[in-house]
Amino acid sequence: MKFYQLSPQERRAILQDQGLKLADIDDKSLMELNQLSENVIGEIRLPLGVVQNLLVNNRSYLVPLATEEPSVVAAANHGAGIFAKNGGVKCSSDRPGIYGQIVLRVDSNFSQSVFEENFPEYITKANERFHSLILHGGGLRRINAELEADLLFIRVLVDPAEAMGANKTNAILEYLAEQMLAFPGISEKLFAILSNYPSQFARAEVKIDPETIGGQAVAQKIALLSKIAQTDVYRAVTNNKGIMNGVDAVLMATGNDYRAVEAATAVHASQTGYTSLSKWFIAHDKLIGQLSLPLAIGTVGGSIKARSDVQQSFSLLGDVSSAQLAEIIAGIGLANNLAALLAISTKGIQAGHMKLQARNIVATLNATTIEKAEVLAKMIENKNYSEHAAQTILEQIRKEAHADRN
C-alpha cells in the first residue's frame, strides 16, 4: 500500500521505525484529523486567545485569535480597549461574490457577440444545476468575456451566500466550461478555476479622542507614521504585517482560508504601487483610523462544521453572519494596527514584544511551575529577556532555596 493509503497509526509506526520522534496524540484525535487532511501523522497546536470586548457597530464581541504570538493578542485587546472608550469601531461590508475565471481557445468561426447572447441561458442553467446555492441566497450572478487573439477570457461572479465559496465556485466553473465547449468556434478549455482577486471588502473606521492615547502629540505622530507608510514600501509592508497579525489569527480560529486572504490583500495593497492598508489622520481634533480589507470568508462550508475547535470559536463570537464576521476581522486588524503605531510612537515596539516573548523562553526551562513563575517575574523586573538570563535566574532561585533548607 502507498503511504497515503495507510492508517495514521501505520504511518506513525513507519516514521518511528526510522528513528523519528513524534509527539504523543490520542487515537481519537488522530482519526478525526485524518478525515480533514492527507498523510496525517499528528497535529500542530496553537493557543486560542480572546479579545474580550471588541465594540463593532455598537455590539460587543468576544473574538477568538489562534496564534502562538502573545503580543498579537495583547495588542488586539489594547486596541479594542481604546476603541471601546471612543464609541467603538464602525464597520461595513460588501459581499457581491467571488470571481471565477474560464479561459478557452477559439478559432476563426467564433463570434463573441453571438456567444454573449447566450449568457442569460448559461446563468439560468447553472443556477438550476446548483439550486441548493440559490436556496441559501447565493447563485451565479454575472458573466463577462474578453477576447485576446485566440484566447477567450471569461470572468464570472458567484455569490456563495454564507460560505467562502471556493469549492462551489469551482464546480460551477467546470459546469459552465463544459457547456461553453459546445458553442461554435470554441476549440479547447485551458482552465476553469476561481480567482482570489479581491472582490469582497470589509471596511472599519474609528474616531479617537487623542486624550485616550496620550495626547495630541502622540496622535500627530501616529498620523505621521501612517503618512510615511502611504509612500515608503519598507514601512508599508511592516505596517500591513502588523494588521495581518490579528486578521490571520481570527481567520485561523474560525477555519477560514488565510492564504487566500493574504494573497488578495497583497494585490489590494499594490493596485497603485504598494502602500499601507490603513490610514490615520487628524480631523476635527480627532485621530481617524480607516482600514479596507478584501475578505472572502465564510461561516459555513469547508471544514468549519467538522471541527470542534472552530465551533468553539463561533460559540465565543455568537450568532454572526459572514458579513458580520468580516466586519469583526476588519475591526481586529485596525485594533492591532493602532496598538502597534501607539507603541512605536511612545515606548517603542520591542519592550512589549520581549516582555511577552519571555513567556516562551521560560516555557522551555526544565523547571517546576512555581520556579517558572519566579523566573518570569525576575526577567520582567530586570528587563532582561535572554535565555541566558532565564537560566541564570533559575540557578539562583534553586541556590537560594537550597540554602534556606540548610
Taking the mean position of all CA atoms in its chain, how far away is CA 250? 6
Q: Which of 257, 262, 279, 371 is catalytic?
A: 257
Active site (annotated) includes residue 347: no
Active site (annotated) includes residue 257: yes
C-alpha cell at 43: 497535529
Q: Which of 321, 323, 56 lies closest to 204, judged by CA?
A: 56
Q: Which of 364, 367, 361 lies closest to 380, judged by CA?
A: 361
C-alpha cell at 236: 508599508
C-alpha cell at 99: 470571481
Q: Give the three-class secondary structure for 400.
A: helix
- Compute the chain's Rg from CA coordinates: 26
Let me know: does 134 contact 161? Beta carbons within 8 Å.
Answer: no
Active site (annotated) includes residue 32: no
Q: Which of 90, 125, 189, 353 is catalytic?
A: 353
Q: Which of 43, 94, 116, 241 is catalytic?
A: 241
Q: Which of 343, 354, 347 lies closest to 380, judged by CA?
A: 354
Torsion angles phi and psi, residue 90, rounded to 5: -100, 125
Task: Give the helix/strand (H/E) hosting 51.
Answer: strand 48-56
Active site (annotated) includes residue 94: no
Q: DSSP assignment, residue 273?
A: B
Q: DSSP assignment, residue 301?
A: S
- What is the set of active-site residues? 69, 241, 257, 353
